[in-house]
Amino acid sequence: MLSKDKEVKACYSKFSRPMLDAPITVRIKFCKVGNLQFISHLDLQRAFYRILVRAGIPMWYTKGFNPHAKLVFGLPLSVGTESVCEMADLRIERQISLEEIKDQLNANLTDEMYVLDAYIPTTKFADIAYAKYTLTVESDKMPDNALSQIAKLFFVSAPIMMTKRSKSGEREVDIKSFIKDITAEVQDNTLRINAVLSAGSTENLNPEYLITAIKQNTDIFADGHNVSYRIMRETVYDANMKEFC
């Protein structure tokens, strides 16, 4: 059965909005945390088209044989990494306020992924050069010398050679060359690392490589200590280390 007295939903109301003279681009900043860290970038893109329809965002559609809403994501996020600084650009063709975009989207999202802000962008995603990540490693028994092991690994000058996979194939690289800045602290069996890594289309390092390096070069992940870790993308920067927004 269908409830007859249902309010008119957002996806119809979009037609009552006046057309803009020309489509405009609106950037949304959103978080993607918890269970949703396991949703791949490709799946996220596909899901977003539906979210935009549900939310009644008056998207501009491409005019080709296969019309689709114009939607561009910023820096892809790897599976297993959470983020509080994801961005996407929406092409809008009808009048709608930034506040309405945020509210209508959030009515159709969950507490593990929601819009933090909507604004008119002044930058291009291509200008993203770095990203800051927090890596939190929890253990039943963090080794006493964990911090010095980390320091030896990342601060002493020996290179950390690892096989890096990318679309263009595999290559041996020193992952340290992608680390712009790194700090670490240990407190109550928890190791916390803040790392600024190369990010973007030219040079990019998946923060998972830091975990792999720790696994291979320290005994922090030794068997039987019930070790778990989380990675959070906190901020993205441009080439001058100015926060990208």
Taking CB atoms within 8 Å and a gap of at least 24, the contacts of 120-125 are 120/24, 120/25, 120/26, 120/27, 121/25, 121/26, 121/27, 121/89, 123/238, 123/244, 123/245, 125/72, 125/73, 125/74, 125/75, 125/87, 125/89
- The span from the CA of 105 to the CA of 47, in Å, is 13
Least Å from the CB of residue 112 to another protein: 5
Give the residue with the Cβ less far from another protein, 65 or 202.
65
Q: Please check whether residue 131 is in contact with residue 233, taking contact to mean a CB–CB distance below 8 angstroms.
A: yes
Give the residue with the Cβ less far from another protein, 18 or 157.
18
**Two tokens, residue 198:** 């190369």
190 binds another protein (CB under 8 A): no
Binding span for another protein by CB under 8 A among 30-38, 117-125, 140-148, 168-176: 30-38
67 binds another protein (CB under 8 A): yes
71 binds another protein (CB under 8 A): no
Q: How many Cβ atoms from other residues are within 10 Å of residue 157's Cβ?
A: 5
Which is it for the CA torsion 182, 186, 189, 192, positive or negative? negative
Q: How many Cβ atoms from other residues are within 10 Å of residue 105's Cβ?
A: 24
Give the residue with the Cβ less far from another protein, 60 or 178.
60
Candidate list 228, 239, 241, 243; residue touching another protein; CB under 8 A: 228
Binding mask 79-118 for another protein (x = CB under 8 A): xx---------------------------xxx-x------
Give the residue with the Cβ less far from another protein, 17 or 180.
17
Let me know the angle formed at the C-alpha of 152 by 142 and 131, rounded to the nearest 5 degrees.
Answer: 85
Binding span for another protein by CB under 8 A among 28-36, 121-129, 161-169, 178-186: 28-36
**Two tokens, residue 175:** 């992952």
Q: Please check whether residue 75 is in contact with residue 37, taking contact to mean a CB–CB distance below 8 angstroms.
A: no
165 binds another protein (CB under 8 A): no
136 binds another protein (CB under 8 A): no
Give the residue with the Cβ less far from another protein, 10 or 128.
10
9 binds another protein (CB under 8 A): yes
Q: Which residues bind another protein (CB under 8 A)?
A: 1-3, 6, 9-12, 15, 34-40, 43-44, 46-47, 49-55, 61, 66-67, 79-80, 108-110, 112, 138, 228
